[in-house]
Each structure stands twice: as C-alpha cells, then as structure tokens.
C-alpha cells in the first residue's frame, strides 16, 4: 500500500495549481496510466483495494485546496469503488441463496417477532462491503456486534471497544473518527479468523468452520458463539458448545433446563444473525 500512496501523492504534487480546473485529454491519459499502475499493485487483492479506497478518503482531506486535485481524487475513488461493487455484485445470488436457506429453516423457531434493531442497520452497507472484502459473514458480524454492545457506536467503559475484544484497549467515550470504527471492525475480523483458524487446525472430529461471505450455517453460528464468547469445557476441537447458551440462543426455541424461570431480555447471537439475513433479503 505504500507504493500506491506514493504514486498518488506524486501525482497530486505534480498537478497542484491555484487555478480553477477543467480536465484535458492529456489529463485523462495521465489518469488512465495512474489507474493502470495502481491496479498492477492491487493485483486483485480485495483488502488492498479496500485499503486504497480508504486512503483516498484520507488524502482528500489532506489535498483539498485545488479543483484539479479534487477531480483526481474523486475520479480515482469513484473508479475503484465502482469496481469493488461490481465484483461484489457477482456474489449476490450465492449470498441470497445461503441467507434464504437460513431463514427458511430456522426463522420459525424465533420466539419473538421483533424487527432487527435500527442501530444494527446503521452502516450496514459499509459493513457489507467490509465483510465481502475480508470474506466473512455479515449476519454473524452484526449478531456479534449486537450481543457485545447492542450495535452501539461508542467505546464502552471497559476500554474493549464495541466488539469487546479483550486484547485491545480502545479507550472510552464517543467514536470521533469513523475510520476508528472501521479499524475496530477489522480487528474483530482478525480476532475471529484467528479463532477459526485455530479451531480448524486442531479439530479431529466434527466439521470445520466454513463461515464466509457466501456461506452460513446453523452449526457454524453456534461454533462462532462458543469460540467468541467462551467454550463449554476446555476443548477447542470437535463439536464445541458455548459456555453461556443464552449468548447464542436467547429468544430462540431453546430450553435451558438448569434455569426454568429465565426470561431473555434481548436476542441471542442466533436470532440476530437470522434477523439480519432476513433484513438483507427484504431490503437488498
């Protein structure tokens, strides 16, 4: 990514001027050469492409005094965002199919009819792009975000961030820079992938976790909840279960015989994951 940033900054310095700007044919040629050079560096690596798009946003704040600079930044940003969205669109049918199976098979077991919390749909398109880029499950991300912080957009008092990652200290209070929020989501992705990789590496029975952008299953949602929130027992392989079933199953047709008087105060990971898939099917 340093190569991309250097190319763009060099171009920005070259074209800076204090006059109003009207693009010329030569400018268009230079721009195409710049796009070609950047595409060679990206080399179809989606996380690198997404990182570059974010860098363009940062550069637009740094070099915002000139019409020609703004033209370059906006054109580059628009080109790569469009390219990424076109790539993502090719997965739509697969995503729709896997979400539909989840909803058809398990939505009838939800024990309330509450809609997905509005806070959970804030930034959902941006998180959908992030999930596609890193090949993770969007509904599971939203379900985890809900269980950890009610889909809140703030830094909780314990410093662990809205995804409650114990190995990080994000501070407390408001999230003043949206880029910080995206970084926290990427930390969640790294944290989760490390959990999956370890489980898949050591498991000698049961099925490996195959959650990704276009695949989701009931069993993998349960395994995700166990790995993320805590395991029942000391083993990290085979047919694992969550230490706290309520984290996963609250407001799903699941009975915890050890606590007959228990009343769920909010949805578990599984219901929110199902509701997110249902929301996506109805709205996208």
Distance (Å, rounded) from C-alpha 26 to C-alpha 6?
21
**Mean pLDDT value of segment 224-231:** 95
The per-residue pLDDT of the chain, averaged, comes to 88
pLDDT in tens, 243-278: 999 999 999 987 555 566 678 889 999 999 999 999
pLDDT in tens, 107-134: 999 999 899 999 999 999 999 999 999 9
For residue 211 the two structure tokens come to 């959650």
Q: Residue 247's closest CA among 231, 265, 269?
A: 269
**Would you state the pLDDT for residue 70?**
79
Quick one: average pLDDT of 219-225? 96
Give the whole-angstrom CA distance, residue 252 versus residue 212.
23
Task: Yes or no: say if 53 and 81 are a contact pair by the CB < 8 Å rule.
Answer: yes
Per-residue model confidence (pLDDT) at position 15: 45
**What does the pLDDT read at residue 207?**
81
* Integer Cα distance of 45 and 213 in angstroms: 16
**Cβ neighbours of residue 43 under 8 Å, at least 6 residues apart?**
none
Q: What share of the chain is helix, strand, coil (3-state, %, to 5)?
A: 60, 5, 35
Query: Contact 31/72 with Cβ under 8 angstroms?
Result: yes
Residue 181 pLDDT > 60: yes
pTM value is 0.87
Q: Which of 178, 175, 142 is nearest to 161 (CA)?
A: 175
Tell me: the pLDDT tens digits for 184-213? 999 999 999 999 999 998 876 668 899 999
Contacts of 117 (CB under 8 A, 6+ apart): 146, 150, 151
Of 24-38, 64-78, 241-255, the poorest mean pLDDT is in 64-78
């Amino acid at each position: 990514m340093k190569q991309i940033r250097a190319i763009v900054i060099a171009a920005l310095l070259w074209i800076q001027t204090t006059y109003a700007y009207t693009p010329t044919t030569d400018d268009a040629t230079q721009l195409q050469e710049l796009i070609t050079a950047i595409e060679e560096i990206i080399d179809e690596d989606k996380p690198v492409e997404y990182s570059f798009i974010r860098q363009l946003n940062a550069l637009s704040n740094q070099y915002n005094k000139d019409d020609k600079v703004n033209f370059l930044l906006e054109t580059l940003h628009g080109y790569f965002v469009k390219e990424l969205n076109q790539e993502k669109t090719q997965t739509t049918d697969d995503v729709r199919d896997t979400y539909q199976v989840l909803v058809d098979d398990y939505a009838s077991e939800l024990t309330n009819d509450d809609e997905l919390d509005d806070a959970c749909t804030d930034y959902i398109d941006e998180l959908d792009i992030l999930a596609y880029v890193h090949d993770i499950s969007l509904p599971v991300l939203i379900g985890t975000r809900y269980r950890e912080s009610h889909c809140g957009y703030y830094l909780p008092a314990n410093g662990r961030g809205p995804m409650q990652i114990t190995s990080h200290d994000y501070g407390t209070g408001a999230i003043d820079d949206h880029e910080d929020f995206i970084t926290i989501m990427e930390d969640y992705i790294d944290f989760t992938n490390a959990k999956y990789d370890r489980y898949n590496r050591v498991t000698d029975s049961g099925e490996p976790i195959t959650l990704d952008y276009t695949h989701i299953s009931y069993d993998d949602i349960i395994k995700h909840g166990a790995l993320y929130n805590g395991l029942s027992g000391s083993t990290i392989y085979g047919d694992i279960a969550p230490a706290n079933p309520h984290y996963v199953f609250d407001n799903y047709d699941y009975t915890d015989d050890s606590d007959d008087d228990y009343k769920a105060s909010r949805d578990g990971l599984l219901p929110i994951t199902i509701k997110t898939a249902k929301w996506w099917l109805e709205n996208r």
